[in-house]
Amino acid sequence: MFLKSITMQGFKSFADRVTINFTDSVTGIVGPNGCGKSNISDAIRWVLGEQSVKQMRGNSMTDVIFSGSETRRKVNLSEVTLVFNNENKALNSEYEEVEVTRRLYRDTRESEYMINKVSCRLRDIHDLVMDTGLGRDSLSIISQGTISHFAEAKPLDRRVIFEEAAGVSKYKKRKLESIRKLERTQENIERMQDIVDEIKRQVNPLKRAANKANVYIEKRDALQKIEVSVLVQDIKNNQDLMEKSNNNQYDFEAEIANLETKVGVFEHDLDEKRQESFSLDQKIVRSQEEIMNLVREIGILETRKVEIEEKRKYTLETGDSEAKAKEIYAALQDAKLEYDERLNRHQELKGETEFLIEENNTHNHKLNELTQQHAFIVSQESKLNNRQEVIEHRLKRPFEMNQGVQTIMDNIDNLYGIHDVVSNVLIPIAGYETAITTTLAGALMHIVTEDDQSAVNAIQFLKKNQSGRATFIPLNVLKSRTVHQDAILIASQTEGYLGLGHEFVQVSEKYDVLKENLLGNVLIVDTNEHANVLAKRLNYNYRIVTLEGDIIHQGGVMSGGRSRQNNSNNYALQQELSNIETS
């Protein structure tokens, strides 16, 4: 095995690609100082894995990259390739010719190694030349100053040098590796023994767990039989509830029909009043025309009266006969009588006109009232119809706003251990609906399960079908929440205190732990003022809720106000239907 050639490009003073070929005899490289002779030995040492900057006679590893000159620009890559003749298989390779390459990039400061143009690790190069004496610390390459180092070295250091030259160091290295492997093997044996001991220690608990599992399976089968009977009863109850809802719907439709009848009656009355108003308007017009005619006639009569009076005066002045005077006097009396009659008729028509105008105003006022009532009834009917459609839709799909809950409830028959949502399990007592539903808030749509495994199975079902998210409450892991007796004593002595939250819900006995978990540490009071007083006395250590849904949270944070009606559960929807039917 010998070095056939070395190719350098961008390495120290070799900016261009330079290839130097060697034979199996001795080769000498001569030249003046500074021409780059030592750079060739540095290149060989560098390719074989030298990592010491000091050995490479530089300040950093990037110093081996050609840094430029007055006539040449610096380069960004240094590459050196060694080609070995491996006919005697001295190198740990099956090829008769082995090519080793190392590259260094200025920008990333990263080295790249290759054997026969295939990328490899630095360790692969070390393994390749391990038994040949060509390692980075071997004596195959002796640089300037190494001879004096040999002469001045301590005995122990000289021994290391001689062992390296004799090829003993590789066996020591293999010995160290074998010792480390033996130590790791012993550690693995001890670890395996620990595992065996741990398994032996777990055998008895596992047997007990297996027995418990068998008991659980037996009880689960019995529970399934019980649940089947309960489900049958629930189905019957749901059918009864559906029948009741249908009856409520029929009553609701009857109420709408009644309202439609009232609308028809009001529309008929409205038409009659409009006809009467039109007739009165015509009468008023005729009366006003008659008054105008009378006024004209009265004017004519007054003119005739003046003429007759002047004629009478003239007759008296001219000494006409008595007969002529009587005739004029009689005509004057007739004119006066007709004038008085016309005047009386005028007064009568004026009074009748004022009466008709007043009656017309009354009818117009009544007409406006009927019109407003008609518009209000039509609006209410439209709102009731729209609300009925919304409620019917929500009752059919009560969990439509929560895809995960809707999916679980739609598949309740296929999922073991699913009970119902909290809103259908905890029913508030009349008068406490707002307080309880506000306290529960988002928990109203949480799903109650038999145990934690049922909840895990349901969550896996949602993930598998990508059907949204839901929150589950396993009954077997719930713990009751309570209020300290001292706090209850203080609350009972505070005005407005009504009791603990779980006291105001109707629930089956099996859900007692659920109501005590969700509502057991909540205090209910009547007003916000009393809630503030109680919160201060209890140092804001408990949540306090008023009948109107205002909340003083633990720590003193307050929330309240009034929002749109919350119809997030079937109970609230049924209550709204009842309120609509009684309104």
Stronger pLDDT, 503 or 205, i.e. the higher one = 503
Stronger pLDDT, 366 or 82, i.e. the higher one = 82
β 447-449/497-500 pair status: unpaired
Average pLDDT, stretch 276-284? 71
Residues paired with 499 in a beta bridge: 524
Amino acid (one-letter) located at 21: N
* pLDDT score recorded for residue 540: 93
Q: Is 567 a residue whose pLDDT tops 50?
A: no
Show the domains of the chain with their CATH numbers. 2-136 (3.40.50.300), 175-396 (1.10.287.1490), 403-569 (3.30.70.1620)
User: Model confidence at 473, in pLDDT bands (50, 70, 90)?
Assistant: very high
Enter the pTM of the model.
Answer: 0.37
* pLDDT score recorded for residue 177: 83
3-state secondary structure 489-502: HHHHCCCCEEEEHH
* pLDDT score recorded for residue 566: 46
Report the C-alpha gap between 110 and 107 in whole angstroms.
8
* pLDDT score recorded for residue 568: 46
* pLDDT score recorded for residue 92: 78
* pLDDT score recorded for residue 370: 72
What φ, ψ does residue 500 adopt, rounded to 5°? -85, 155
Stronger pLDDT, 480 or 276, i.e. the higher one = 480
Least confident of 30-44, 48-62, 68-82, 565-579: 565-579
β 418-421/447-449 pair status: antiparallel
**Which tens digits make up the pLDDT trace of 84-132?**
988 888 787 888 899 999 999 988 888 999 999 999 998 888 888 776 6
Stronger pLDDT, 482 or 253, i.e. the higher one = 482
Residue 479 vs residues 409, 419, 473, 476, 512: alpha-carbon distances, Å: 25, 18, 11, 9, 10
Share of the chain above pLDDT 70, in %: 77
Residue 158, H or E segment = helix 155-166
* Candidate ranges 36-50, 231-245, 262-276, 333-347; pick with highest mean pLDDT: 36-50
Q: What is the mean pLDDT of the chain?
A: 80
